[in-house]
Structure 1
Amino acid sequence: LQTSVYNAAQQADDERPFTDAAQLAAMFASQNALAPFKILIPLIGDLAYTQHSPLSALQNDVATLPLIVGTDTQLALTFATTSLNDEVADVPTTGPHTAPEHLVVADLHRVVKRLNLTRDVPVNVGSIATAKRVVALGRGAMEPAVLLQAQQLAKWIGAALAVTQPLTAMEQFSIEQQIGASAVTVAPEVLINIGVAGDDDYLAGMAGAQ
């Protein structure tokens, strides 16, 4: 982190384009800043996940940074290409942030199997704010068949059902199930989005998901 900050500052001092280097430094800063939350949140317990918890809000703000500047892989590749003039840079893909995987609902059994989500299924699911696993439904999941599949999936893996704002108008869902910076923020171990467009409010609300 110190090296990346120094490099960005040096480029700025030399009046060279430094945006890519600065964004890479921001990514490293975000990753380092999230580390203390892993220690603090278990100590505070459920209070850390309340809607008005400053700690949870701060964690979400820090975790949202990669959504603004890009993933570590993208930033490293851009930095290597622009700063090192390496058009075929081999950038490692390991790290705490992985690119989202886009699937159709019928393919979700692959994800469930790969992540071993049928093992150690939570007995007490709880609210979406405290659930370890969340299945979130958006406008694209309003078809009855998709809703049924999603509900079966949530029951299978012990996940809480969450929704975006359009689905709160449906009889089976409530405002307490809405994810968003202006609604309920979540930080589950696993979050599966189905038919979610992902506006800024929603992304900020789910930024703490692992």
Structure 2
Amino acid sequence: MDKKVKVCGIYDKRTIQRLKEIGTDQFSFDFRARSFNFLQQHSFMSLQEELSLDEGLYLQFENEADFVIKKILDDLSNKRNLKNIFLEFSDLQSADFYDQFEVPYIWHYNFEYKNFDSIVNSKYASGLVLKFSDLLKLHEDGVLHNFCNNFHSQFIKHLSRDDFSLILELDWDSNLFSSISKYFDFDLISIPISNKVEICYRNVDLAKVQTHVQYLKTLSL
């Protein structure tokens, strides 16, 4: 079975259409104000019409006000039901903040976070993202094994759930080390649009993205 790939920071219809043509069904949209892939709500509302209810749709935020997130969810619920809609957080808010939206969310693991127990006990947590760059640093420092043991014991409650995803965030030029699959069983690969796959600013090289996403789907992770 092909590995599932989630492409992040999408900002145009042509990218969605090409990804759908090659069987990609997980799409993330970036609402982080400082991101190069920042998407305004009106643009997102147009793009989401390209996606079916069976495709995964992720909304990424970072230190955003709760009323802004609620407004986007409310407007989205007027267009489609919220099946397969996920929030995605790459900040250090409390789990109570994340849970208030009553929508499944994935959280980007951060070594600076001090309240992991709250994530462990969170009602709506549905996935964790580990950055390959962080894992590579641990591997090079010889401490990945210890981190892996602690991570699995810490999040065993979630990791044992069928509806919970462990996600590996890669870059387009990430060079995976072979033993990573011995430490983690990833359900999904996440990769963000960047200038590494753009012809120029906000102009995706569709052929390059297609080739690489098809390659990622063949990985055994």
Q: TM-score, normalised by structure 2?
A: 0.32
Q: Quick check: which one's helix share is greater?
A: 1
RCO comparison, higher one (Cα < 8 Å, 6+): 2
Normalising by structure 1, we get a TM-score of: 0.33
Larger radius of gyration: 1
Higher strand share: 2
